[in-house]
Amino acid sequence: MTESFAERLREYRTAAGVSLSQLAKRVNYSKGYLSKIENGRKPPNTTLARLCDAALDADGKLIEAGATGPRDVATTLDRRQVLAAGTVLGLALVGGPRPAVDDQVIDGMRVSFEHLRALGQQASPAMVLQPLIANVRTVHALARENAGPARTRLLLLAGRIAEYTGWMSQEAGDERNALWWTRHAAELARVGGDDEIGSYALVREAGLALYRQDPVRTIELARQAREVGRPSRRTLAMASRREAQGHALAGDRDAYLRALDRAVELMATAESDTRAYPLLGTTAAEPVELARGWSLCDLGRAGESAAVLDAAVAVLPATSRRSRARFGVRSSLAHALSGEIDQSCRTLAETLDDAAHVDSATIRLDLRDLARTLARWRNHGAVREIYPDLGKVLHQH
């Protein structure tokens, strides 16, 4: 018979020789609340399970016992969505002679996409999604109307734009279309002769699973990404990075460290992509360090997480608003979980403007966790001061 979280918590606390009062100080929850958890009168939340696991060196066992399971998100499209997507992607250029394109025209279309991607780092996905879809439609249609090297370049560019469209769909809170666009990106690039994006599409799917709090699927997809085709060392690094995050979510610290070490080694030896279409994935500096900070929080090591994230966020440029908001919020959450409430509120104050501008559904998930955590200190002066602004960002969508 499987032990309950309450039974496991009492077992590990007793084995460690830690009193309820001592544990309460370590995890920044009240003794009374922990007593109700340990006596089975209250169910644990995932955050508390992670903090207790780290405080009692339970090696992921308390995280496993406290898991609530992934959110159930459908991954299939209904008939109307398929028809709508088919209309967008299948629209041919009509009227007049076939439009001929050369390298200069294709370069210009790439520049147009790069401008949209830069805007997507600083503004709401609602501002870029429709132009991105129009871009994919145009480039894909041109690929069908041209042959030879031009067709190949156009298909590869369409694949890159479709991949980013999937990311912006996820940021807008549309997981169904995020998955559809991600898979379609792999199809376009594959027809263009590049399997790299097929591997990276699995990294992106693993990211969708990570935000659904599904560690098993995250790890599974990240491993598949390493085995499909012949991915570059950078894509292998991004797959290992995602796998590490999955292991951290599952509470498996040893597996997390192995995957993260592999990501560090691969990223250090990755060659620059000099091909004539945009770089896949994040353009943020130190992506592995950012993932390290993220994962330490999932492992219940909030103080370590805050230190790593503070250093990594400091080197992100002001133009990377989406990344600054994402990891700034995560840093604020880590500070709050470690009991550094004033620092949490200072970090949040520096982050909220970015979060408001990028209007991200995924960042709001962490903001909700942060709001719940700070609510335990609702009478703290810094919390009372920041809470109204936090509420505005949470409800702006």
Tell me if 106 sits within 8 A of 150, measured CB to CB: yes
pLDDT: which is higher, 78 or 368: 368
Residues 6+ apart with CB under 8 A from 381: none
DSSP secondary structure, 137-171, as one string: HHHHHHHHH--HHHHHHHHHHHHHHHHHHHHHHHH
Examine the pLDDT at 56 and tell me if it is beyond 60: yes
Extended beta strands in 214-292, E state:
none
- In the prediction, which pLDDT does 74 show? 41
Enter the DSSP assignment of 73: -
The Cα 394–Cα 73 span in angstroms is: 21
Q: Hey, what are 342's tokens?
A: 């004033």
pLDDT at residue 366 in the model? 93
**Residue in 46, 15, 73 with CA at minimum distance from that of residue 361:** 73
* Model confidence, pTM: 0.83
Round the average pLDDT of the chain to a whole number and report it: 86
Per-domain residue ranges for the chain? 5-66, 79-268, 287-394
Expressed in angstroms, the distance from the first to the final Cα of the chain is 45
The predicted structure's pLDDT at residue 278: 52
pLDDT in tens, 108-127: 999 999 999 999 999 999 99
Say yes or no to pLDDT of 280 above 70.
Answer: no
Q: At what angle do helices 215-227 and 196-211 cross, to 10 degrees?
A: 170
What pLDDT sits at residue 283? 63
Residue range 5-66, CATH number: 1.10.260.40
pLDDT tier for residue 275 given thresholds of 50, 70 and 90:
low
Between CA 225 and CA 238 the distance in angstroms is 9
Distance of CA 203 to the CA centre of its chain: 10
- Assigned fold of 79-268: 1.25.40
User: What pLDDT does residue 88 have?
Assistant: 40
Alpha-carbon Rg for the chain, nearest whole angstrom, is 23
Which residues 6+ apart lie within 8 Å of 333 measured at CB? 297, 344, 366, 369, 370, 373
The predicted structure's pLDDT at residue 308: 96
Least confident of 232-246, 262-276, 313-327: 262-276
Calculate mean pLDDT across residues 319-324: 91
Q: Is the pLDDT confidence value at 267 over 70?
A: yes
Fold match flag (5-66 vs 287-394): no
CATH class for domain 287-394? mainly alpha
Task: Please tell me which residue, 183 or 329, carries the higher pLDDT value.
Answer: 329
